Amino acid sequence: MSIVHIISSLNIGGAENFVVQLANEKTKHKTVKIISLGKTNSNRNYIHAVNQKVELIELGWKKKYSVIQFYQLMILIKKLMPQVIHVHLHNPFYYVFGMSIFNRKPRYIHTLHSSFQNWKRVLTIVNKLRFLSSKILHVCLSNAIAKDIKSQYPRIHTTVIPNGIQSYRHARSKEDVKSFWKTFETRSENSFKFLAIGNISDNKNYKLLALTFEAIALKYPNVIGVQIGNPTDQKLSNELKEIGASNLFLVGPKENAADFLLETDALIISSIEEGMPIVALEALSMGVPIITTPAGGMVDVVNENNGIISRNFEVQEFKKTILKFLDMNFEKRMRLSKNAKVAFENNYEISITANLYKVNYGLD
C-alpha cells in the first residue's frame, strides 16, 4: 500500500520542489512513489533531492496527451495499487481525472499550485463532468483561492492546506552571495537590496516592477533590485529593457536562486496571479520580509507583521508600498524579519503540511 504522486516532470519549479519535499517527509511513515510523466531536464531538476526511500518512476512521455499513454498509466497504477493518488499540475490532472472514472478505489487528491484563474478552465470542465466522477479532493493553497472556487463552483470538493517546505539551506557561501550583490552596488555599498525570483511571464508582472523601480530611483538612488529567472517571454523581456530602469537588473536563471536572499532587505513579488510560491516560504524561513501585490495566496502569507501588501496592481500603489518599507526605521525592519521566521515555523514547516495531508489522505 502506498501514496503515489503524479507530476509532469521534476524540472526546476515550485510545484516540483514541493512534491519532492512532501514525498520525502511522508516516506518516514508510508511507502511513497513519484511518477514523472514527461522528460526531465538533465541539468536543472530536483531528482538529486529525492530521498532514496522514495521510488521514482520516470515514464519519459514525449506527448502531452495520448490515449495509449492513458492506458499505460492505468496499467501502472493497477500494478502499484496505491491507497492515495496525489496529482499535481495541469497535464497530469487530465489523466488522473479520467482514471478516477474507471478506478474508484484510491483516494484522489489534487493540489492546485497556482491561482484560481489559472485553473478556472479546468475546474469548469470538472464541474460539468461531476456526474462522471466527483472522487477528487481539490487542495487550495490559501483561503483566498478556496473562496474564489467556492463562489464559482460550490459543489466541487475543496479544502485548504498551505504549502510547506523545509527551512531553506543555502548552497552558496555568504562570501559568494556578497560578491554577487557587490556587482550591482555601483552607487553605494549601503544600498537597499530587493530580489525578485521567477521566470519573465505575464503572470509575474515584471513590467510593474520595472516601472516602479524607475520611479523609486528618483527618491532613493541607493535602491537596487535584481530579477532572477528565465526570459521565457522575449517580447516582454524586450519591453522591460526598453523601460530601462537603471536600478533593476535582469540576470537570467540561477541555480539555487534563493541563496541570494541571504543579503537582501526583502523579497519582492509583483505578480498578478500566484498560488503560494515556494520562494515566498523560503524567504520567510530565512527571516526575509516580503513586499507583494495582493495576488492569490499572497494575501494569506503576508501581513503587517512580516511584510507589506499593496492595495492593488498599479504603479503608484506599488511604489507607495515599497517606499513605506524604505521609510521604516531599522528596528521596525528587524521586527518584520523576526516575525517572518516565526510565521514560517508556525505555519509552513513541511512537517506541519504533511500532517494536514495525512488527515485528507485518510491513512490514520
pLDDT at 1: 62
Question: Could you give the domains of the chain?
Answer: 3-166+349-361 (3.40.50.2000), 174-347 (3.40.50.2000)
Over range 125-134, report the average pLDDT: 94
Answer whether residue 45 shows pLDDT above 80. yes
Answer whether residue 189 shows pLDDT above 70. no
Mean pLDDT score of the chain, rounded to an integer? 94
CA distance 230 to 251: 9
Radius of gyration of the chain (CA): 21
Answer whether residue 46 shows pLDDT above 70. yes
* Element spanning 10, H or E: none
Q: How far is CA 25 from CA 31, 33, 49, in A?
A: 11, 12, 12
User: Percent of the chain, pLDDT > 70?
Assistant: 98
CA distance 248 to 223: 9
Answer whether residue 190 shows pLDDT above 80. no
C-alpha cell at 8: 509532469
C-alpha cell at 55: 521510488
Confidence of residue 244 (pLDDT cuts 50, 70, 90): confident
